[in-house]
Amino acid sequence: MTSSTPTPAPAPEAQAVAARYARRDAAQDAQHYSLYASASALQAQQERLRTWVQLWRAHGWHNLAGLHFTEVGCGSGGNLHDLVRLGAEPQRLQGLELLPERAAHARATLPAALSVHVGDAASAAIEHGSQHAVLAFTLFSSLLDARFRTALAQQMWQWVAPGGGVLVYDFVVNNPRNPDVQGMPLAEVRRLFPHARLHSRRITLAPPVARRLPRSLVAPCASLLPFLRTHRLTWAVKPAQPS
């Protein structure tokens, strides 16, 4: 990362986020998120990746060579792996992760040239205008403090170069069984990035539904039941500077 003046985050919210993820990790069945074991997880990942590529190709990016990317909340590195497979150069990628154990897993599996930094993203020293894209996948739904969420979004927006953007993937409705998260409807994404041009797609068959389906029906139902799609993938574009 290159230096700029960091914006300190409220320590209590950062600590609360870490506690929420710890509870979630303890309660989750890892098989639900295994691309090998779970047909629904594999379908969701493939649909997300296809939509992601469609949005960026429509944006005019026919390859990812030479572009800089940062993922906030990179977890164990799945999206960074996808970026490398799509042709991004590892030395131009970086992940920010709050939880040390997740960051360690990412480092162990990603190319050595790809940097993974542990700590609060709101304090990350990233030069303004240096990133072509900043990724936030199921990130904002875990930030229950609205002021903290807004401040982090503003900081991420500063990192983005004109003509780049923030790629947001998150669920759009509240989960009554999980008080540690809240839905991120398109109106909230628009509030967080008020100067962006938004290109958004509703995707991902509701995971509780998809997990109950026979493997052979997951993909057809994901296509045929759009009213059961629970997530959005939104490309929030920063206008290019006038020539």
* Distance in angstroms (rounded) separating the CA atoms of residues 76 and 94: 12
Roughly how many angstroms between the first and final C-alpha of the chain, as a whole number? 28
Give the residue from 205, 208, 196, 206 showing the smallest Cα distance to 234: 196
Determine the average pLDDT of the residues in 134-163: 96
The pTM (predicted TM-score) of the whole model is 0.89
Q: Are 95 and 114 in contact (CB under 8 A)?
A: yes
Q: How many helices (H) and strands (E) does the chain have?
A: 8, 7
Contacts (Cβ under 8 Å, ≥6 apart) of 123: 6, 7, 8, 9
Annotation: CATH topology of 11-26+61-205+230-237 = Rossmann fold (3.40.50)
Query: How do residues 19-74 score in pLDDT, each as one tens digit?
Result: 777 666 665 656 777 888 889 899 999 999 999 999 999 999 999 999 999 999 99
3-class state of residue 95 by DSSP: strand
* Helices (H), ranges, 59-99: 78-85
Residue carrying structure tokens 């154990």: 101
Give the residue from 136, 115, 157, 111 showing the smallest Cα distance to 52: 136
3-class state of residue 224 by DSSP: helix
For residue 81, the number of C-alpha atoms closer than 13 Å in the C-beta half-sphere is 11
Task: Give the DSSP H/E element, type plus range, for residue 162.
Answer: strand 160-171
Q: Which pLDDT does position 142 carry in this prediction? A: 92
Neighbour tally for 110: CB within 10 Å: 22
- Residue 240 pLDDT greater than 70, yes or no: yes
Among 3-12, 65-74, 194-203, the minimum mean pLDDT is found in 3-12
Q: Which pLDDT does position 3 carry in this prediction? A: 42
CA angle 50, 42, 57 (to 5 degrees): 10
- Residue 242 pLDDT greater than 80, yes or no: no
Give the residue with greater pLDDT, 174 vs 43: 43
- Residue 4 pLDDT greater than 60, yes or no: no
Query: pLDDT-derived band of residue 8, with 50, 70 and 90 as boundaries?
Result: very low
**Strand ranges in 87-148 using DSSP code E only, listed in sequence order:** 93-97, 115-118, 131-137
- Residue 149 pLDDT greater than 90, yes or no: yes
Determine the average pLDDT of the residues in 155-171: 97
CA–CA distances in Å: residue 189 to residues 155, 156, 200, 205: 14, 13, 10, 20
Query: pLDDT-derived band of residue 193, with 50, 70 and 90 as boundaries?
Result: very high
